[in-house]
Amino acid sequence: METWAGCAIPTDRYYDLDADVWVKVEGGLARVGMTDVAQTRMGRLVQLSWKPVGRNVARGRPLTVLESAKWVGPLISPLTGVIRENNRVAFDADVAVANRDPYEVGWLYLIEYSTNEELEGLVDGPEAFEHYREMIEREGIQCFRCTE
């Protein structure tokens, strides 16, 4: 894992840089969540909408709607496929779980993706780190984690 200005960017994942979304491949499944930079820029989550397990999702289309005190908007799906699991139970217990741990406990969906070609359109961890390092410097971002 690489860090810059408090922002963590795990190098064992793929990233959709335009959507600020990470993808961790687990066999034919992809665990998906928001980046540390995304959760910092958005602020503390207050609500999410959830797509049900079994729903088809398409790359580039909204996967969920996130709401914070200062922002409302979609989290865009990085892959086409079928939702096999969501992390609603963790978010129902603590809506700010992604603000505390965006890469492990704060994941959002597990997607059975349709094609490896879409994975090839994502960037790897080291390339994502360089992208985010430049963005953090340019925009003066300092990542933080919400506390109790």
144 lies in some domain:
no
Question: What six digits make up the tokens of 23?
Answer: 């993808």
Domain interval for residue 95? 2-139
147 lies in some domain:
no
Q: What is the CATH number of the domain that holds 123?
A: 2.40.50.100
Q: How confident is the model at residue 107 (pLDDT cuts 50, 70, 90)?
A: very high
Average pLDDT on 17-42 reads 95
pLDDT in the model for residue 147: 52
Does 148 score more than 60 pLDDT?
A: no
What pTM value is reported for the model? 0.92
145 lies in some domain:
no
Does 122 score more than 80 pLDDT?
A: yes
| Structural domains of the chain, count | 1
27 lies in some domain:
yes
148 lies in some domain:
no
pLDDT in the model for residue 115: 87
**14-18, 81-85, 114-118, range with the lowest pLDDT:** 114-118
146 lies in some domain:
no
pLDDT tens-place string over residues 132-146: 999 989 999 888 766
pLDDT in the model for residue 2: 79
What is the 3-class SS of 47-104, one letter each residue?
A: EECCCCCCCEECCCCEEEEEEECCCEEEEECCCCEEEEEECHHHHHHCCCHHHHCCCC
131 lies in some domain:
yes
